[in-house]
Amino acid sequence: MRTIRTWWGQRFIEALESFTDPARLARGRGYANNDRIRSWQRQGGVVSATIRGNINPYYGVYKEPLYKTTIAFQPIDAEQWRRLIPFLGSRAAFISRLLLNEVPDTIEDVFRTLKLNLLPYSHKDLKTDCSCPDYANPCKHIAGLYYFIAAQLDRDPFLLFELRGLERDELQKQLRKTPLGQALAAAIGEQDAGFDSVDSYFTRAKIQPLAARMTPGDFWRGHRRLPENLPTPPATAIPALLVKKGGDFPAFWPYHQSFIAAMEAIYQAIRKREKDW
């Protein structure tokens, strides 16, 4: 099975687990791949697939079968969508992302405000059917189609809107009619209009005139004189930091005497010799 990567795919499965036997649902994981699902299609809120089954003499199946499996989503009717659009269109955080082909992860809050839900949370939200002899619901093939739909939501979370009765283009069209949607659509249009085609993505070199040739005398004299009294640099807060960084017994030091103590003795001898000179 293809791994479910996005929160929409995960949340779809979690919603199903809230009213479906998780053990029976999990049986479908191995059926949510191209090897098992030979073909599939969506018409409105109905997803149908041809799924390869198993030979099972217990059920009298002696030849590898192909089962017709269907999942129909209960649509949100047009009147409920008309009530939802103004709520979505009045929240900048929602409408801006929806117009940019993104689905906010908190969009369910708007649906709950109107006592609706986008994800399926009960058997009333779904109607399933499979031609296999297993009468339990979900059978492995229905469960496999559930996981397959979750994987499709990974690619396009707007699929859930379409399964609920509103196509992506129509949703965005209705959102653009709201006051906030009109303003955002105009702003997006202005940004899109600002792009021009170019021959190269690299910055082109520009010809600059050469600076006047400078003589060595001009370089050393300069236009300004250096300050006569340069400030004394501050003393090092931790003297011989590089020496002390390795500790008393670094890996290269084979003696029992402290490496730092030995180096301090060498530095003191150097300082004394410089004074004597």
The tens digit of pLDDT for each residue in 86-113 reads 888 888 888 888 888 888 888 888 898 8
Average pLDDT over residues 257-263: 84
Residues 76-94 have a mean pLDDT of 88
Confidence of residue 237 (pLDDT cuts 50, 70, 90): low
Q: Determine the pLDDT at residue 164.
A: 93
Please report the DSSP string for the chain in residue order.
Answer: -PPP-SHHHHHHHHHHHTTS-HHHHHTTGGGSSTTTEEEEEEETTEEEEEEE---BGGGTB-S--EEEEEEEEPPPPHHHHHHHHHHHHT-HHHHHHHHTT---TTTHHHHHHTT--SS--SGGGEEEEE-SS--SSS-HHHHHHHHHHHHHHHH-TTHHHHHTT--HHHHHHHHHTSHHHHHHHHHHHHHHHT----S-SSPPP---PPPPP--HHHHHH-SSPPPSSPPPPPPPSSTTHHHHHT-SS-TT--SSS-HHHHHHHHHHHHHHHHHH-
Least confident interval from 66-70, 237-241, 243-247, 262-266: 237-241
pLDDT of residue 236 exceeding 60, the answer is no
- Where do the structural domains in the chain lie, given as residue ranges? 7-177
Pick the residue with more confidence: 275 or 205? 205
Q: What percent of the chain stands above pLDDT 70?
A: 87
pLDDT of residue 35: 81
For 18-66, how does the pLDDT look when each residue is reduced to its tens digit (9 = 90+)?
999 888 898 888 888 778 899 999 999 999 999 998 887 777 778 889 9
pLDDT value, residue 147:
92
Q: Decide if pLDDT at 67 tops 90.
A: yes
- Per-residue pLDDT at 107: 87
Give me the pLDDT at residue 57, please. 79
**Residue 170 pLDDT:** 92
pLDDT tens-digit series, residues 133-178: 888 889 999 999 999 999 898 888 899 999 999 999 999 899 888 8
- 126 or 182: whose pLDDT is higher? 126
pTM of the model: 0.63
pLDDT tens-place string over residues 175-221 = 888 888 888 777 766 555 555 666 777 777 888 776 777 777 777 77
Considering only residues 2 and 250, tell me which one the structure prediction assigns the higher pLDDT: 250
